[in-house]
Copies of this chain bind each other. A is one copy, B any other.
Amino acid sequence: MEGKTVAGRIHDLDEGLTSAGRKAARGLLGNYPMLGLAPVAEFAAGAGVSAATIVRFVAQLGFKSYPDFQRALREELEQRSKSPLQRGAMLSTEPGEAPFLATFLAQSAQRLEETVALISPGEFETVCRRLSETKRNCYLAGGRFTDFLAGYLEAHLRLVRPGIRRLDGRPATSADQLIDVKPGDLAILFDVRRYDPAMLDVAQTLSQRKAHIVLITDEWLSPIARHARYCLPCSTQTGRTWDANAAILGVVEAIIARVTELSWETASERIGALEGE
């Protein structure tokens, strides 16, 4: 009873908590453990519940009073300051069972790390540099489940630079969207397993028009790879019904971050102007 951290106790209760109790728990875990060191009223306000609920919450945690609970937090903090453990260490769950979410997210994290090995740093950097040159237009397209990624990337790139075009919808084959493509233009295509034939058509057309294709795909590589100048493969395999695209989003966000950095001069103005609205 005494050896457990407060965060550990919260995880133990888990289902035993009521709706408002969870809000309290979330608030505390959200900025741990500072909120718990504040007076009850402040804790309550920060968690969006009443003071009474906070008191009941700490009682459920097994403390006989709120000051008692705070003492535990302080001692815990003292403990930690002696060894350079991080915030995460205090919050980590016990290895007792294998909760679905924890397992799944751990696998997601692993895929992220595998992806590091799959992508050449130089190639990534080159793609980002190309993206921050605003002379050329840049076209984006995705397939059935990856179209959202194209949309996400588009939304951000639009804020950073001009000349972004999105190829929309199913009849992507329709060549009228590609009619303005000039040699040397950039095209970012997303294609993952159950590779989309329509996407391959688009790639072929782009290739004919001498566009430079950036392919973002899974570890088995879409057939588009043959036409791609740059290729960024991501780890997606899950062994379940659906493959997972979180690692791809990670790479997309890395691209956004890097391109924003590289073209900060112009980007900062655009962002200011567009966000201000």
Chain A interfacial positions (CB closer than 8 Å to B): 7, 11, 14-15, 17, 19, 22-23, 25-27, 29-31, 34, 37-39, 48, 67, 70-71, 74-75, 77-78, 81, 84, 86-88, 91-93, 99-102, 104-106, 108-110, 112-125, 144-145, 148-149, 151-152, 155-156, 219-221, 225-226, 229, 231, 233, 238, 240-242, 244-247, 249-251, 253-254, 256-258, 260-261, 271
Considering only CB atoms, which chain B residue lies closest to A42 in the complex?
B71
List of B residues within 8 angstroms of A106 by Cβ: 112-113, 116
User: Do A109 and B113 form a contact, CB below 8 Å, given A31-B78, A118-B29, A120-B14?
Assistant: yes
A124 touches B101 (CB 8 A): yes
Q: A37 to B37, Cβ gap below 8 A?
A: yes
Majority DSSP secondary structure for residues of A touching B? helix
Contact among B114, B124, B257 for A242, CB-based, below 8 A: B257
Complexed CA–CA distance, A238 and B250 (Å) = 12
Chain A to chain B: the 7 pairs with minimum beta-carbon distance, closest first: A91-B117, A15-B122, A99-B121, A148-B148, A109-B109, A109-B112, A104-B254
Q: Please, which residues of chain B bring their CB within 8 A of the CB of A251?
A: 101, 105
Residues of chain B within 8 A (CB-CB) of A11 are 120-121
Q: Which residue of B lies closest to A87 (CB)?
A: B81
B-chain residues with CB within 8 Å of residue A7 when the two chains form the complex: 117
Residues of B within 8 A of A260 (CB): 240-242
Contacts of A225 in B (CB 8 A): 23, 26, 48
B253 and A244 contacting across the interface, CB-CB below 8 Å: yes
- In the complex, what's the smallest C-beta–C-beta distance from A248 to chain B, in angstroms? 9
Given contacts A112-B108, A116-B93, contact A254 B101 (CB under 8 A): yes
- Complex contact B105–A92 (CB within 8 A): no
Query: Given the complex of chains A and B, what is the CA–CA distance between A260 and B244 in angstroms?
Result: 14
B257 touches A240 (CB 8 A): yes
In the assembled complex, the CB of A214 is this many whole angstroms from the nearest CB of chain B, namely: 13
CB nearest to A104 among chain B residues: B254
| A74 to chain B: closest residue by CB | B34
**B221 near A238 (CB under 8 angstroms)?**
no
A-B CB contact pairs (8 Å), 27 listed: A15-B122, A26-B225, A26-B231, A26-B233, A29-B117, A29-B118, A30-B221, A34-B77, A34-B81, A37-B70, A48-B221, A48-B225, A101-B116, A101-B119, A102-B116, A104-B257, A105-B115, A105-B116, A108-B112, A109-B250, A145-B155, A148-B149, A148-B151, A152-B245, A241-B260, A242-B257, A245-B253
